[in-house]
């Protein structure tokens, strides 16, 4: 029997620009669950500013994450005015994201689920400057997060794209009529398998809320291969 991810019962639909603050309990839970990944990357340099991120792109350490047949980036990454939302990851972690997408798609195909459904990537590299700002605003985040090193990415845990349309509780008023939770059951199954293979660590953040997401970090010892 497949493990299920519970859906929130509240019928409130949050706007994308609304501040969602993390509870002290959630921060403590994520701090504990992220210990292993923060230990992996503790000696790796962080990107202090957006300018440093762009330097990392120039020197080839970071690469742009492009949509493909399995994933899409949320609109914030496509808005040039949002300088903090840079669509980059460390080149090996970008390969990991693609691998997660391929393995998830294999499970989707095996269960005859639509190829038009794409995972929604909600966060990639972050500067230390931006991370500190998030924390000050009460958002969920660790000061030494591997996000600041281009080694983590987030995938929406209760939303996705279907034939180009965003399906999530923050934008779709008929969300519970059209959302298929099995899409994310299969993603969780994929991540659990890859975690057992020591490829990554993942945390289901804001669990059972309209802002649920999968935070994923590459294991320093894992080197994905180009396909």
**CA 78 – CA 145 distance, rounded (Å):** 24
What is the 3-class SS of the chain, one letter each residue? CCCCCCCCCCCCCCCCCCCCCCCHHHHHHHHHHCHHHHHHCCCCCCCCCHHHHHHHHHCCCEEECCCCCCEEECHHHHCCCCCCCCCEEEHHHHHHHHHHHHHHHHHHHHCCCCCCEEEEEEECCCCHHHHHHHHHCCCCCCCCCHHHHCCEEEEEEEEEEECCEEECCCCCCCHHHHCCCHHHHHHHHHHHHHHHCCCEEEEEECCCCCCCEEEEEECCCCCCCCC
Q: Among 220, 221, 201, 226, which residue's Cα sits nearest to residue 30?
A: 201
Give the pLDDT confidence score for residue 215 in this predicted structure.
98
First-last CA distance in the chain: 32
Could you tell me the CA-to-CA distances from 86 to 36, 51, 74, 128 in Å, in that order? 25, 11, 12, 13
Domains identified in the chain and CATH numbers: 24-218 (3.30.1380)
Give the pLDDT confidence score for residue 4 in this predicted structure.
40
**CA 91 – CA 94 distance, rounded (Å):** 5
Give the pLDDT confidence score for residue 16 in this predicted structure.
37
User: Along the 227 residues of the chain, how does pLDDT read in single tens digits?
Assistant: 334 443 333 222 223 334 578 999 999 999 999 999 999 999 999 999 999 999 999 999 999 999 999 999 999 998 878 888 899 999 999 999 999 999 999 999 999 999 999 999 999 999 999 999 999 999 999 999 999 999 999 999 999 999 999 999 988 989 999 999 999 999 999 999 999 999 999 999 999 999 999 999 999 999 998 87
User: Which pTM does this prediction carry?
Assistant: 0.91
Cβ contact 125:62 at 8 Å:
yes
Cβ contact 76:82 at 8 Å:
yes
């Amino acid at each position: 029997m497949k493990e299920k991810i519970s859906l929130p019962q509240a019928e409130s639909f949050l706007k994308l620009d609304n501040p969602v603050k993390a509870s002290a309990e959630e921060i403590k839970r994520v701090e504990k669950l992220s210990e292993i990944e923060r230990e992996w990357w503790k000696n790796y340099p962080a990107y202090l500013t957006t300018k440093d991120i762009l330097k990392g792109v120039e020197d080839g350490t970071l690469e742009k994450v492009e949509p493909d047949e399995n994933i899409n980036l949320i609109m914030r990454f496509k808005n040039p005015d949002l300088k903090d939302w840079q669509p980059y990851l460390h080149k090996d972690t970008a390969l990991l994201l693609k691998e997660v997408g391929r393995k998830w798609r294999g499970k989707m195909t095996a269960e005859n689920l639509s190829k038009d459904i794409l995972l929604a990537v909600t966060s990639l590299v972050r500067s230390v400057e931006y991370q500190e700002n998030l924390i000050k605003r009460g958002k969920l985040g660790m000061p030494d997060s591997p996000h600041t090193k281009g080694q983590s990415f987030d995938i929406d845990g209760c939303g996705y794209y279907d034939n180009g349309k965003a399906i999530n509780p923050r934008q779709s008023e008929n969300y519970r009529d059209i959302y298929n939770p099995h899409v994310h059951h299969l993603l969780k199954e994929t991540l659990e398998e890859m975690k057992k293979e020591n490829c990554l660590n993942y945390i289901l953040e804001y669990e059972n809320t309209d802002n649920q997401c999968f935070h994923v970090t590459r294991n320093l010892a894992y080197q994905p291969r180009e396909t």
